[in-house]
Structure 1
Amino acid sequence: MHVWKQVAPLMLHQGGKVLRTLLDSGHSAYFVGGCVRDELMGRPVHDMDIATSAKPEAVMELFERTVPTGLQHGTVTVIMGDYPFEVTTFRKESHYEDHRHPAAVEFVDEIIQDLQRRDFTMNAIARSLDGELTDPFHGASDIRYGILRCVGQAEERFDEDALRMMRAVRFASVFGFRPVKSLWRALLTSRDKLSFVAMERVRAELERLLLGPDPLRGLELLRRSRLLHYAKIPYVESQGSGVLQEQLGVLGHMPAEPQELRWSELLQGLGISGLEAEDRMKEWTFSNQVARTTAEIMRFDEMWGAIRAGISDGSAERLRRSWTELQVHYGQEISQLWLERQRIRLASRGAQGREALLRLDEEEMRWHRAVRVHDLKELAIRGGDVLTALDQRGGPWLGELMKRLLLLVAIGDVPNEREPLLEYVKAVVKQNGG
């Protein structure tokens, strides 16, 4: 009897109750898929899927709390305690009409028939309540030797569901597995079918790959296969950019969260500008927030690099004022993210980057902390105070004046106090003949 070691005890207890209820009612039932795979790999198990001979209607009758998650595919979510368990009837699938979805699903009685429809051998293992494995395609052996192999013919599996090609690259990257030659050949000959897959699904796989422990491995497999060139919205590098390997090498040193750090580094490494980045990411179905934040980190980096290059005398005061203006323009969060990314960049160079890292600590970090205001709401006066003091009507000029006040306070030229700010406003208006 094999004991689960990677599962939270309460989740295992509740999952066991689901299996036992099905078995006591005369049905076959097994833990299947990712939970069995991760247990064999020594990885934490986050959820437990169950396959059973019981039809969906029978499952819903056996348990008090159920959700008809996907009855057409035989899936019912059973809520046991605080844990949801996807319980799916053994099934086999007919031909696939669109390289993504089966035309029809047929319920079957045997677990091996159910395992036969799955994508990779490591995901086609069932585990009984007493720990016995049903492993007709030798997935446990492939896990042991770090091999990624399709169930049956790889061409057929990719023809059925083209997203499996992206999953293959992601698994190879995240788990460090080696795709067998037959899988790789099938991926190259089938890659044009990726155009049938919705961009949200492709992007989700790409996210898991990039935020995994070895993003460079996955990116290299994508480069060699040119798989993303066949997506519904193809990936196209910037004209003549190429991949900057030194810059991309930093990716593995960056934390997975916030993910915008890795995305900004990747896109810049591929020669994509900050102006292009937001639209590119939105096309690829990233959220507006992720796309915007990523692009702003990139634009901050580009602008700060141009500013440093343009101040040839290296004047610390001119640089400080320029940094402050940039930080106020992009906001505290973006400048903080840039600083975090820059520290990782420099630290990854070892001794070569040590001097620059020290300068970063002494200069940009100090300037960043010194900026006390980033928003008009933080000023000691409001637009109404200005209008009252000047006895004038509002207009576009007021917004511009308030922004100027914000920058002057941030730089330190004017204290953030009511009277000095109003005195400055009156002096400006008088100087301009207002």
Structure 2
Amino acid sequence: MREYLPEYIRGIISRIRNQGYEAHVAGGAVRDQLLGRPAKDFDLVTDARPEQVAEIAGACGWRTVQELGRNFGTVVLVVAGNAVEVATYRGEVSGQEPRSQQTFGKSLIEDLARRDFTINAMAMNLQGRVIDPFNGGKDLADKVIRTVGKAAERFAEDGLRMFRACRFTAELGFAVDHTVLEAISENLTLVNNLSLERVREEIKRTLLAPWPHLGLAVLVASGLAGTECSVKEYGQCRRVPVLPELHRLAGLTQNPRYHNWDVWEHTLRTVAATPQDYVLRWAALLHDAGKGLPGVRSRDEDGQPTDHGHERAGAIIAADVLERFQLPGKLRRRVAWLVARHMRFHAQDGENINTLTRWVRKEARSGEFRNSADLAQAFYQLGELCRADLLATGRFFQGNATFNWAERTAEMARKMPVHTTDVLYDPGELSAVLGGKAVLGVFMPDVLRRIQDGSVGNTREEVIEAARKWMRRHFAL
């Protein structure tokens, strides 16, 4: 496999080896190459100590990133414009943050033995030979996530590895070995010492993976969703729940007339059916979080469960969850907006273009959106969420009709001005009609509302004509 190693990686390995040290590519790059996928990063391991790697780098004219990694046995080289981590063989011991009690190992095998999963515990030499002491290649072929050695020991070294098991399941579409799942369930207290930032990043990568539903299923089945991680504020640590809201959805029944699966299975299928977009994946994960709550769950005349108003309750939950995760306000607001409105396209009977136009106009005036593009994006995302939600019922759905309504509404939103900057006009021409720029600030909000109402078209010609009429009304010209 030597031909798959980039020239700059072969150059680094050769220079280190020429100084009498070992050097191999290790970890994810080897795994990805065996899977036939392009490797994103090439990390190297060596028996050379960090200061020796830095000395070699200096002799070769390679830049090193001084502030990164040196204390953890890693030197970051910048070669041919690429950042490459070169780590000294490791022999980590217990610690809940990565490499918290770093020790150096004596051999490649010892280094690989300290890694999390067998599929990440392989190395490749300059000639392309794969060193695989823990049968990671077989586990790749079997599509299984299995730890190197005892799972409990690997998780004790870094509890984040439990979340990484979920993430790799989602990224690769693999199954988690039963011993790994059992060990996660038995070591949930390890999460208490993990930082929110690290947990949040793993969940983000799980959500954005090709098979997010598989990773999320492990998150709930193992009990990880019900754990608490930590946030440090003003020198004090406080516990932060991960995603306990999801546990309640597992086994929560739905009306079989409309759904083939319980709420959690439906949620997983909805997430899987959405595009790989962070906002949409969060919205899909939490879109039915309000179901089953007191005041929401009731029974119809046939005794079947109903959850009228669950979208409003779910929007409140979504906002709370994302604030707890310390995610940006814009993302929180958009996800809550989507959850609150995800039922809108599901029942279009009796609605017409005028009704939808009034809805879009109301949203444009809500103050929630910056401009037309922002509004159109929201309606596009809403259409995608509703599409996924319907597909995940496993029952009949108004597929084409619903999708057509969503597309038409998104197109309305694209044409609906939200801010005066969305109004089409020539500033010089308009100022001349209005007798100067001073009057613009009065006229523009007025013409914006009239365009939104449909009485004025959003074209340069119609805006100019509206300005002339406005001047005549206000100044009797």
How high is the TM-score relative to the length of structure 1? 0.81
Q: Does 1:360 align with 2:360?
A: no
Deviations 1:164-215, CA, capped at 9 Å, x for gaps: 0000111123222222222111110001211211111111111111111111
Deviations 1:272-320, CA, capped at 9 Å, x for gaps: 6334423421321323333333233334546x569x78xx853542332
Distance 1:428 1:222 in 2: 64
Distance 2:226 2:406 in 1: 41
SS at match of 2:398: helix
Distance 1:322 1:103 in 2: 54
SS at match of 2:244: coil
The structural deviation recorded for 1:359 is 4.2
Indicate if the aligned counterparts of 2:25 and 2:45 stay in contact, CA closer than 8 A.
Answer: yes
Indicate if the aligned counterparts of 2:216 and 2:268 stay in contact, CA closer than 8 A.
Answer: no
Q: 1:14 aligns with which of 2, 5, 8?
A: 8
The aligned residue for residue 377 of structure 2 is 333
The aligned residue for residue 94 of structure 2 is 95
Indicate if the aligned counterparts of 2:287 and 2:342 stay in contact, CA closer than 8 A.
Answer: no
Select between 68-77 and 232-241 the one with higher mean Cα deviation. Answer: 232-241
Q: Does 1:31 align with 2:25?
A: yes
SS at match of 2:6: helix
Distance 2:265 2:413 in 1: 30
Indicate if the aligned counterparts of 1:125 and 1:135 stay in contact, CA closer than 8 A.
Answer: yes
The aligned residue for residue 255 of structure 1 is 275
Q: 1:412 aligns with which of 425, 434, 454?
A: 454
Deviations 1:106-150, CA, capped at 9 Å, x for gaps: 223311111121111111111111122222222122222222211
Indicate if the aligned counterparts of 1:174 and 1:212 stay in contact, CA closer than 8 A.
Answer: yes
1:262-301 matches, within 5 Å, as 262-271=281-290, 273-301=314-342
SS at match of 1:409: helix
The aligned residue for residue 236 of structure 1 is 244
Indicate if the aligned counterparts of 1:347 and 1:357 stay in contact, CA closer than 8 A.
Answer: no
The structural deviation recorded for 1:30 is 0.8
The structural deviation recorded for 1:404 is 6.3
Select between 66-75 and 277-286 the one with higher mean Cα deviation. Answer: 277-286
1:99-114 matches, within 5 Å, as 99-114=96-111
The aligned residue for residue 432 of structure 1 is none
For 2:322, give the aligned amino acid: M
For 1:227, give the aligned amino acid: L
Cα distance change of structure 1 residues 345 and 424 upon mapping to structure 2, 3 Å threshold? farther
For 1:352, give the aligned amino acid: F
The aligned residue for residue 174 of structure 1 is 171
The structural deviation recorded for 1:403 is 5.3
The structural deviation recorded for 1:13 is 1.0
How high is the TM-score relative to the length of structure 2? 0.75
Q: CA RMSD in A?
A: 3.5
Distance 2:16 2:246 in 1: 56
SS at match of 2:39: coil
Q: Does 1:317 align with 2:326?
A: no
Q: Does 1:375 align with 2:416?
A: no
Cα distance change of structure 1 residues 276 and 406 upon mapping to structure 2, 3 Å threshold? farther
Gaps of 5+ in 2: 230-239, 253-262, 291-312, 370-374
Distance 1:143 1:341 in 2: 33
Indicate if the aligned counterparts of 1:203 and 1:285 stay in contact, CA closer than 8 A.
Answer: no
Deviations 1:72-127, CA, capped at 9 Å, x for gaps: 1110012221222100111212332xx23445322233111111211111111111
Distance 1:239 1:16 in 2: 48
Distance 2:446 2:315 in 1: 26
The aligned residue for residue 131 of structure 1 is 128
Distance 2:247 2:15 in 1: 60
The aligned residue for residue 80 of structure 2 is 81
Indicate if the aligned counterparts of 2:169 and 2:211 stay in contact, CA closer than 8 A.
Answer: no
Cα distance change of structure 1 residues 238 and 419 upon mapping to structure 2, 3 Å threshold? farther
Indicate if the aligned counterparts of 1:325 and 1:407 stay in contact, CA closer than 8 A.
Answer: no
For 1:264, give the aligned amino acid: A
For 2:20, give the aligned amino acid: G
The aligned residue for residue 151 of structure 2 is 154
Distance 1:428 1:164 in 2: 69
**When the two structures are aligned, how many residues end up with a matched partner?**
407
1:177-192 matches, within 5 Å, as 177-192=174-189
Distance 1:323 1:259 in 2: 24
SS at match of 1:130: coil
Distance 1:362 1:32 in 2: 47
Distance 2:468 2:391 in 1: 46
Gaps of 5+ in 1: 430-434
The structural deviation recorded for 1:323 is 2.6
For 2:270, give the aligned amino acid: V
Distance 1:428 1:264 in 2: 47
The structural deviation recorded for 1:326 is 2.1
Distance 1:336 1:246 in 2: 22
For 2:70, give the aligned amino acid: L
SS at match of 1:59: helix
Indicate if the aligned counterparts of 1:78 and 1:84 stay in contact, CA closer than 8 A.
Answer: yes
Cα distance change of structure 1 residues 221 and 53 upon mapping to structure 2, 3 Å threshold? same
